[in-house]
Amino acid sequence: MVNATKGLFISCDIPMAQFIINYNASLPASQKFIIQVLDSTHLFVQPHMAEMIRSAIAEFRDQNSYEKPN
């Protein structure tokens, strides 16, 4: 018998994958979203968490963007 799990496949660079893994680890057990870490650049996550992951990445990028002072 085959077991299938619906999920979202994420392909990214190594630093972004580590950010997502660390973000997942910081959440309580009931909110963890990573189903499987496939390799250093590919993750399989719960599909309903896509927007939460996107917003966390956007916030991370905003915090780490250089803005030239006036």
Residues 6+ apart with CB under 8 A from 38: 44
**Chain segment 22-32, per-residue pLDDT in tens:** 999 999 999 99
| Cα–Cα dist 4/52, whole Å | 23
Q: What is the pLDDT of residue 14?
A: 95
Specify whether the CB–CB gap between 21 and 37 falls below 8 A.
yes
Higher pLDDT, 1 or 43: 43
Q: According to the model, what pLDDT value does residue 67 have?
A: 79
Q: Look at residue 64 and tell me whether its pLDDT is greater than 90.
A: no
pLDDT of 5-63, one tens digit each? 999 999 999 999 999 999 999 999 999 999 999 999 999 999 999 999 999 999 999 88
